[in-house]
Amino acid sequence: MFLTLFGLVLAVAVVCFFVGRSRAVAVSGANYSALHSLPSYHGWWLVLMAAGPAFAVLVFWSLVSPYLLRPMMLSQFAPQLTEFSAAQLDGFWRDIQAIAGGGTPGVRDAFREEAAAAYQSTNRLSLIAMVALMIVLGAVGFSYAWNAIAVHFRARHRVETAVKVFLAASATVAILTTVGIVMSLLFESLRFFTMVSPLDFLFGTTWTPQQMAFRTDQVGGTAAFGFIPLLTGTLLITFIAMMVAAPLGILAAIYLSDYASPKVRAVGKPVLELLAGIPTVVYGFFAALTVAPFIRNSGQSFGFDVSSESALAAGVVMGIMIVPFVSSLSDDVINAVPQSLRDGSAGLGATKSETIRRVVLPAALPGIVSALVLAVSRAMGETMIVVMAAGMAANLTINPLEAVTTITVQIGTLLTGDQEFDSPKTLAAFGLGLSLFVITLSLNLVALRVVNKYREQYD
């Protein structure tokens, strides 16, 4: 139904465009230059005024009417529904919708058939009301817009304003979604922090939420929600990953942009970027099956005690995974440094590497820093490699040869399997999510400050 109506509105809009355009041509007496705005703007103006309100009604009504219809139906059949629990009411509502729509309901009986018939007639009424409203608004808008079209009518300004409003609305939707996500993160975290003290969470050094399940009667108990081991694990793995990715990525970018012949570059750059296309789970088993045993074996031959899952294995593989993030972006910013600067330096007798170290890299530094920040955020958010190669044990250690776990991995484990939605164990995921969000956000802010400061100085 919605799609049919949408198609109709669209067809009307197309017609309006041509009508508006030819109307503008007509009022100008085919003398375009007399018109304040080009004829096509008058066409758009008519579209906006005639089809715009109808379209808005269609969208709004379709979104809102289910929420109005449901209480209406439930109150109409309230006497028969007194015994129903909330879940049963949901089922009943689904059933009558299914019967009315010709689908397969969970339960079909005379009562539900009757309710479905009532639902259908109400629904039809509401649909008729909506279409009537669309037609009326469309007609009013059309006649107003039609009469407004004149030689001096400023259709261009109206259309530009409408475009601006539309763009602003799109931006608002995006921003509001983000705000909504952050808000829900905040509220769920607040619920978590009413059950577990924020101090215990932020400064606790043991993380054993799994024990919760055995002691549902006693909140707190031996289940501990100390976030420190996860934080150190995350930072440790991220640090190892960046120790691999930063030098490899930046050096590869320098090679590709300044040393490689065009042929090598044409092959090398896509191949490097291919690394970013490999699914992380593939990196995960590469880490678990190849790198981790290698590290354990070589560690043992030096007499170190290495567990089969280690932060080192996960970090190194993760580092390789994010090399393309660093190299690709750095390569772009290094390439964007003008050739004239390189020439200026070479013209003074600087060698290629002096030029790169003293002129190109400083000029590209802001961009390189943002590439690194992006890579760090990526490393912190990575889950799969850690699960497979670094384990799930929340050890508080900075020894890269031991098993550790990270914030994201724990969020994953907390939310897999059947969970009660209001137990601290589940809500802890939101607490962790919030902390990860705060960490990445502050990292970005700091990097932004650094970059801006550097820009002020040099650009």
Which residues are at the interface with other proteins (CB under 8 A)?
262, 338-351, 354, 358-359, 362-363, 457-459
Q: What is the number of other CB atoms lying within 10 angstroms of the CB of residue 368?
A: 21
Output the smallest distance, CB 350 to other proteins, in A: 5
Helix (H) or strand (E) holding 115: helix 110-148
Among residues 434, 391, 444, 381, the alpha carbon closest in space to that of 413 is found at 391
Evaluate whether 343 touches 292 at the Cβ level (below 8 Å): no
Output the smallest distance, CB 267 to other proteins, in A: 17
Q: What is the number of other CB atoms lying within 10 angstroms of the CB of residue 420?
A: 12
Task: Between 159 and 256, name the residue whose CB sits nearer to other proteins.
Answer: 256
Output the smallest distance, CB 458 to other proteins, in A: 4
Output the smallest distance, CB 445 to other proteins, in A: 24
Output the smallest distance, CB 372 to other proteins, in A: 20
As a whole number of angstroms, the distance between CA 410 and CA 417 comes to 13
Output the smallest distance, CB 261 to other proteins, in A: 8
Task: Between 217 and 456, name the residue whose CB sits nearer to other proteins.
Answer: 456
As a whole number of angstroms, the distance between CA 77 and CA 59 comes to 28
Output the smallest distance, CB 452 to other proteins, in A: 14
Output the smallest distance, CB 354 to other proteins, in A: 5
As a whole number of angstroms, the distance between CA 87 and CA 98 comes to 17
Among residues 408, 416, 413, 415, the alpha carbon closest in space to that of 432 is found at 408
Task: Between 322 and 359, name the residue whose CB sits nearer to other proteins.
Answer: 359
Residue 141 sits at φ, ψ, to 5 deg, of: -60, -40
Angle of the 311-336 helix axis to the 361-381 helix axis, nearest 10: 150
**162 token code pair:** 């409408």
Residue carrying the six token digits 């949408």: 6
Residue carrying the six token digits 């939707």: 173
Under DSSP, is residue 406 helix (H, G, I), strand (E, B) or coil? coil
Task: Between 298 and 353, name the residue whose CB sits nearer to other proteins.
Answer: 353
Evaluate whether 430 touches 185 at the Cβ level (below 8 Å): yes
As a whole number of angstroms, the distance between CA 276 and CA 269 comes to 12
As a whole number of angstroms, the distance between CA 362 and CA 2 comes to 57
Task: Between 75 and 457, name the residue whose CB sits nearer to other proteins.
Answer: 457
Task: Between 331 and 382, name the residue whose CB sits nearer to other proteins.
Answer: 331
**247 token code pair:** 């030098």
Output the smallest distance, CB 356 to other proteins, in A: 12
Task: Between 157 and 455, name the residue whose CB sits nearer to other proteins.
Answer: 455
Task: Between 102 and 262, name the residue whose CB sits nearer to other proteins.
Answer: 262
**442 token code pair:** 């502050």
Task: Between 70 and 265, name the residue whose CB sits nearer to other proteins.
Answer: 265
Task: Between 162 and 350, name the residue whose CB sits nearer to other proteins.
Answer: 350
Helix (H) or strand (E) holding 155: helix 155-195
Among residues 361, 300, 290, 299, the alpha carbon closest in space to that of 320 is found at 290
Q: What is the number of other CB atoms lying within 10 angstroms of the CB of residue 22?
A: 13
Output the smallest distance, CB 344 to other proteins, in A: 4
Output the smallest distance, CB 351 to other proteins, in A: 5
Task: Between 108 and 455, name the residue whose CB sits nearer to other proteins.
Answer: 455
Task: Between 190 and 350, name the residue whose CB sits nearer to other proteins.
Answer: 350
Output the smallest distance, CB 298 to other proteins, in A: 42
As a whole number of angstroms, the distance between CA 214 and CA 133 comes to 59
- Residues ≥6 apart with Cβ < 8 Å to 371: 249, 325, 326, 329, 330, 333
What CA dihedral angle connects 213, 219, 220 and 224, to 10 degrees? 30
